[in-house]
Structure 1
Amino acid sequence: MKFTLKDARINAGYTQKEAAIKLGVAESTIVRWENNRCPIKIESFLKLSRIYGIPIQDFLL
């Protein structure tokens, strides 16, 4: 199954603010990532994968 970043976050039970705190980024960064307004560094993408519990290959980018 493929997930958008927003779907993955919601499926994991996080708000944008909670996800931002877990990742150590601003909430606005989560918003920009979810809306494809800025690129995600691989390190952050790996953290997202771990925090959301979804393998990288299951993200729909």
Structure 2
Amino acid sequence: MSCDTVARVLAGYQTAAPGLIARFEALFSSQILAPVADLLPPPPGPALDIGAGTGRDAA
């Protein structure tokens, strides 16, 4: 991937990030994780936050 492509992707994300964050934070973890909830340890439990979002689900 060229440096120009990376720069365009990053610029696009920077422009869209505020709206994406607001939409992401408007969802409830319980709804998003419902299909796999039975696979998760009961709280409090271990969580690995890999930095792929706002940390909402890890919290």
TM, length-normalised to structure 1: 0.26
Greater radius of gyration (CA): 2
Q: Which has the higher contact order (CA 8 A, sep 6+)?
A: 1
TM, length-normalised to structure 2: 0.26
